Amino acid sequence: MGNRSETDTDDQSDARGYGEGWEDLRQQTLRRDGYACTRCGADDRTLQAHHVVPRSQGGPDELENLLTLCRPCHGVIHQSNSSFDDVRDDAPLFPEPDAPDPVARMREPGDGDCSRCGHEFDPEELVAWTDVPPADGSVPDHLTLCKPCAGFALENVPACDQESLTGNHRFGIHELSAWRLDAPVRSSIFASPQVAVRREPRTVRERIVDDTPLRFVWNHTGIRWLTLIAIGYVLLMLVVASI
């Protein structure tokens, strides 16, 4: 077991601004969580007690409101806190599968979005493509893909292979292959160039809507409802005018 020492868990910085009894409460938190980070499982790093509901929002200094995090993972949760900027990249890209919901986040906010379709997903619905070849002069550290887009990339992007895909859960090439048909016909206009590959449409709807600019209207729930309301209003006016 790693970081059990009371003097080796960043006592001074972690206790700054906290009242009497905080150190005992922090140690209770670390002990309850097995002296390991609840996001990544690390037990050999500086460990800190994280408030699930921040103190600035009225979160209490109570055991039920605290979780143990290593310093890099603490930085993942506090993206705007510059004091973590030097260690945030040391946190794993994925949280552990059993990480508590309040800390089960990807390393960066954008990592939760599929790099091809642009939709947001939970970590267990994503895989990471590592060793991504450069495009347009950029060399990304990784791309995250939802399972349908990952399956589609495996089949259509030569540089993407099963060995370069990883996640925080077990998945097989046959599973991803089965999901590939659910990948959108067109990638997001903001898609990374390495995965901005078009899928051949299979249905009339895909040919008329998903493979044309109509997708920007129809596939957006808010715009779709506004369009239907506008059409309904026009039809109502025509009926009224004909009476």
Using a cut of 0.75, tell me whether the model's pTM lies above it.
yes
Number of Cβ atoms within 10 Å of the Cβ of 21:
9
Confidence at 11, pLDDT banded by 50, 70, 90: very low
Q: Which residues pair with 142 in a beta bridge?
A: 130
Each residue's pLDDT tens digit, 112-167: 999 999 999 999 999 999 999 988 777 788 999 999 999 999 999 999 999 999 99
- Please tell me the distance from the alpha carbon of residue 131 to that of residue 109, in angstroms, as a whole number: 21
Confidence at 172, pLDDT banded by 50, 70, 90: confident
Each residue's pLDDT tens digit, 67-97: 999 999 999 999 999 999 999 999 999 999 9
194: nearest Cα among 147, 130, 126:
130
Number of Cβ atoms within 10 Å of the Cβ of 156:
15
